[in-house]
């Protein structure tokens, strides 16, 4: 069964450093989502792509976060500089339609 | 705007007990409704879904019925197992299908 791949699974970084996460969606899924999930809370949408175009990035802190999906397949989410409050699980999801999302295992980020 | 409200946890049950996790929603039009499950350290997995009023989603002994008159989508299972211990998220996809809204999650622990 096809799955959404994410790497790394865990990342520890120091405050003010740059960090990047990678996501490879299920083949054929045109829509890709990045979420941030703070411990004990539900996922919060950061950015949504349709193919290579950004559909929604209204909740993305654009002063430090950036996301790209250059060829409409895999995607990278970057944080620069990282802050203590960025410690969270970063989840990637993809969907063929807009009614059902499939999630990757997530990247657990700890900023020290 | 669209939103989902879940019963707060944590919920602790004995094995073979009956489970209900309440979920109500606010949305314009006719959203699709979902239950996702998250096991420790993992991403979210789609558990079941319903795309129109009176639909019943079911999977692995869990079921939920889309009730438009009460704007609810409560999750039920007749006999829980220790392996059902996880966090459960109710979610909706709005009319346009462009965005998901997640509840805050309900942690379930099943004890032998």
For A95, residues 6+ apart whose C-beta sits below 8 A from its C-beta are A29, A31, A33, A101, A102
Nearest chain B residue to A92, by CA: B43
pLDDT one-digit tens code per residue, A46-66: 999 999 999 989 999 999 999
Contact flag A103-B41 (C-beta cutoff 8 Å) = no
| Adjacent-strand bridge partners of B34 | B49, B91
Q: Is A85 exposed, middle or buried (0-12, 13-18, 19+ CB in 10 A)?
A: exposed
Q: Which residue has the tokens 């809370």?
A: A41
- According to the model, what pLDDT value does residue B98 have? 61
Contact flag B98-A55 (C-beta cutoff 8 Å) = yes
- Site from A6, A43, A93 to mutate, B interface, most B CB atoms within 10 angstroms: A43
- B30 pLDDT more than 70: yes
Contact flag B43-A103 (C-beta cutoff 8 Å) = yes
pLDDT one-digit tens code per residue, B48-95: 999 999 999 999 999 999 999 999 999 999 999 999 999 999 999 876
Rounded to an integer, what distance in angstroms lies between the CA atom of residue B103 and that of residue A68?
27
């Amino acid at each position: 069964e096809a799955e959404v791949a994410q790497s790394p699974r865990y990342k520890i970084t120091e405050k003010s450093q740059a960090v990047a996460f990678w996501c490879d969606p299920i083949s054929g899924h045109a829509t890709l989502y990045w979420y941030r999930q703070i411990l004990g809370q539900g996922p919060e949408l950061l950015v949504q792509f349709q193919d290579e175009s950004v559909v929604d990035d209204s909740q993305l802190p654009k002063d430090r976060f950036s996301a790209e999906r250059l060829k409409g397949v895999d995607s990278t989410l970057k944080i620069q500089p990282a802050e203590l409050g960025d410690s969270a699980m970063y989840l990637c999801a993809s969907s063929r339609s807009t009614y059902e999302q499939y999630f990757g295992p997530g990247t657990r980020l700890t900023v020290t | 705007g669209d939103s989902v409200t879940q019963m707060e946890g944590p919920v602790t049950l004995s094995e073979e007990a009956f489970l209900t996790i309440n979920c109500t929603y606010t949305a314009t039009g006719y959203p699709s409704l979902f239950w996702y499950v998250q096991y420790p350290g993992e991403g979210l997995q789609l558990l079941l879904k319903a795309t129109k009023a009176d639909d019943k989603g079911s999977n692995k002994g869990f079921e939920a019925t889309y009730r438009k008159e009460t704007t609810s989508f409560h999750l039920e299972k007749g006999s829980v197992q220790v392996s059902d211990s996880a966090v459960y998220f109710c979610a909706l996809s709005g009319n346009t299908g462009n965005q998901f809204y997640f509840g805050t999650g309900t942690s379930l622990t099943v004890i032998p």
